[in-house]
Structure 1
């Protein structure tokens, strides 16, 4: 008999555990999915929810949950997922200070963070020493604040959404933004702005992006979601998602 690869054995084990646990229905489990509006990645205006929303709804169908996202400001969604009960959230960057706040269910992709500026203000990125005293905007609740403080930035302001961040850059009331490259590009395109009017600058970090749950999410629920993701990996749905967001691997 041909020996099974570790990934195949893991998929079979997760599927078996999910079957032993019995079918789970959303109304029984009480799980709900929350997120922020990050078009086109995860979009309240898209019937399919955007590429990530579509993947998560497929995941829910496979696992027996209704994972149609409910949209909140990012910091509020993080709080709901931290407190529960029965709350899932994506996308969430995994960091040491968040480690004990959530149940880490499924890694989705890795994203890199960059500074963003108006091209007409700085045709080429200035030296880092000059930037540390400029006003830089970040998404409230994101890991960007800690990242910039580690780099010595002094004037950091938080906003509730990327539309406000971009508007303030345009009007000149802030000099820079710092955030996920995927989300920044999505915000520029979805708002009708021209990407050529902006430029990406230095990147100080990257992070794994996860589907998380509130701490009360059970082992049975987690196993059902993990087994469902293995099926989406096997049928190509996960790869299709990565292709759509430009992270094909």
Structure 2
């Protein structure tokens, strides 16, 4: 009887281990985005640097998965954090998030910048000099959280591309965004007349997995990504988009 019970438990564990990981993402070009620009997409209508890297990583590691792009970011973040067998990308690996997930990466950089329109006379040496200015940021993003912790009061939107339009129309004085993401979004709406007035931070972006994802799965994925980097696959993927 005990032998049969152990056998059944072994089968259940194996089934759980091979259950596809549910990967969630958002529109955050050029790292991840829907092919039609809409706020919901499934494979294969998801593209971008990180999406391509994650696909290849899972293929090499022979780990089954599904990939869905949803909106807003706060929803997919919460779902990945609270739901077993889930993950989310790309996410800045910040100290206050470190123990909330298991991490695979880095997938790429995200330099934090303040952008102004080309004709703006704003000049900054540090963040504190931006107090009193209208700073657009993206709700739930690490950049917005960092600005708030620094005592600034960013004007939040649900989609970062809306900040590009607001900066272009003069609704905000500065746009707090990432580089290369901000440059890519601005070009998408034909906005080229902008300048960087402050580069105030930088971080690396990762695939964040729910804490209950087995360590052996995390290691297989990380080993695959490391191999891809050594072979030049990561650099070649960046070159296709930038």
On whether the aligned pair clears a TM of 0.5, the verdict is yes
Q: Which runs of 5+ in 1 are unaligned?
A: 1-23
The equivalent of 1:77 in structure 2 is: 76
Q: Which secondary structure state, in structure 2, belongs to the residue aligned with residue 232 of structure 1?
A: helix
- The correspondence of residues 218-237 of structure 1 with structure 2, limited to 5 A, is 218-237=214-233
CA–CA separation in structure 2 for the residues paired with 1:25 and 1:71: 27
Normalised to the residue count of structure 2, the TM-score between the two structures is: 0.79
TM-score (norm. length: structure 1): 0.77
Q: Look up the match of 1:134.
A: 133
Q: 1:169-180, aligned counterparts within 5 Å?
A: 169-180=167-178
Mean CA deviation greater in 129-138 or 178-187: 129-138
Matches within 5 A, 1:81-120: 81-120=80-119
Pick 1 or 2: higher relative contact order, CA cutoff 8 A, min separation 6.
1
More strand by share: 2
2 CA distance for matches of 1:113 and 1:98? 18
1:209 aligns with 2:199: no
Indicate the residue corresponding to 1:200 in structure 2.
196
The answer on 1:45 being equivalent to 2:35 is: yes
Shift of 1:231: 3.1
Query: In structure 2, do the counterparts of structure 1 residues 165 and 26 end up closer, same or farther at CA, with 3 Å as the change threshold?
Result: farther
From 21, 31, 55, the equivalent of 2:21 is 31
RMSD of the TM alignment (CA)?
2.6
Structure 1 residues 201 and 175, CA gap change in structure 2 (3 angstroms)? same
Number of aligned residue pairs: 219
Work out whether 1:238 is the aligned partner of 2:234: yes
Deviation at residue 146 of structure 1 after TM alignment: 3.5
Give the match for residue 18 of structure 1: none
Residues 11-34 of structure 1, C-alpha deviation per residue, up to 9 Å, x if partnerless? xxxxxxxxxxxxx99993231111
Q: Is the 8 A contact 1:26 1:66 kept in 2?
A: no
Structure 2 portions without partners, runs of 5+: 1-13, 37-44
Post-superposition shift, 1:44? 0.6
